[in-house]
Chains A and B, each alone.
Chain A
Amino acid sequence: MRLRHLKKVFHLFAYKEDLYLLCNSKYFIMSNEDYLKDISEIKNLMNKSSRFISLSGLSGVLAGVYALIGAFLANNIINNIILQKQPLKRFFVAYDSVGSLLIIAFTVVLLSIITGVFLTVRKAKRSQEKIWDSSSKRLIINFLIPLLTGGILCIILLDKNYISLIAPVTLIFYGMACLNASKYTLGDIRYLGLTNIVLGLIATQFVGYGLYFWAFGFGVMHIIYGGIMHFKHDVK
């Protein structure tokens, strides 16, 4: 009787030992690829949970193209003002042009936002990511804080008649907005931000050439960085 009992216990023990060995041996049996898969999944989750990765590079390129077209049209209007020889006529032409310049500016901004949202939503849908989650909210909030600060500062500058500083300030604050947002999305826009900050600082020394700096910072730079992002992340 006692012997049978002992045998039972021994059996149980042996069974447990086997199980234990089986558990441990998993580490030896698991192949290299399984570990690599684990590590890549960890990296993927870390990125996905902290950054909004569906930002479309193509929308950056298109925003740059809109900015260049806008700058070209604005340049024509400004040249038209300068061409007027009579001071009074020049004043009236300039007065009339303010409206069309504002329309161009708003159209460029609006088109860029619409294109950006449309292409980003499309990219997110294709890769089956969520569009409106904590990562995209965080991205937008952190992008908007420096941008709105710059916007308010520009209105103040306009009010105090420091008009020559407006182009540099928009570039600098847009750069800071990109720099700040780069922590929450694809890291490439960090360099777009840095470039625009430097460009804005240089622009302070070239009063009257604001439009050219705008065309370069918002136009050419968007096309370059948008292109880099497109080929790095979107083309697979």
Chain B
Amino acid sequence: MSIINNINKVFDHRIRLGIMSILMVNEYADFNTLKALLGATDGNLASHTKALEKSEYIKIEKQFIGKKPNTRYSTTKLGKAEFKKHINALEKLINKQ
């Protein structure tokens, strides 16, 4: 049962896994980059980023580039640690079966 405990429900979605994967290897990524890489719609991506922010796994920074608003995302320390745990649990599950 301990393996199942490490599976994090917050990450249990393709888009959320994708967001975390991208942010793990990049300092930050903006909304449009995430959208293009994940092939998600605006609303879909926004709701998933909000969910991750609510759990304090990612940080949202809003700024202006010229006159255009720009939203960029980065992982928090907690998010990184939790994602690593989640991946390890996934790998263990695969190896166990």
Contact = CB atoms under 8 A, between A and B. Distances in A.
Interface of A: 24, 27, 32, 35-36, 38-39, 41-43, 45-46, 48-50, 130, 133-134
B29 A49 contact: yes
Most buried by B among A24, A27, A38, A134: A38
Q: Could you tell me the dominant secondary structure of chain B's interface residues?
A: helix
Contacts of A133: 33, 36
Interface string B12-28: 00100110011011100
B7 A35 contact: no
Nearest to A43: B21
Interface string B82-97: 0000010011011001
B90 A48 contact: no
Nearest to B97: A32
Contacts of A36: 94
Contact of A46 (B25, B38, B91, B94): B25
Contacts of A134: 33
Given A32-B97, A46-B21, A46-B22, 20 more contacts: A27-B4, A27-B93, A35-B93, A39-B94, A41-B14, A41-B17, A42-B87, A45-B18, A45-B22, A45-B37, A46-B24, A48-B37, A49-B21, A49-B22, A49-B25, A49-B29, A49-B37, A50-B25, A50-B26, A133-B33
Contacts of A49: 21-22, 25-26, 29, 33, 37
Contacts of B7: 27
A38 B4 CA distance: 16
A48 B34 CA distance: 11
Contact of A39 (B14, B33, B36, B91): B91
Contacts of B14: 38, 41
A80 to B, nearest CB: 53
B17 A38 contact: yes
Contacts of A50: 25-26
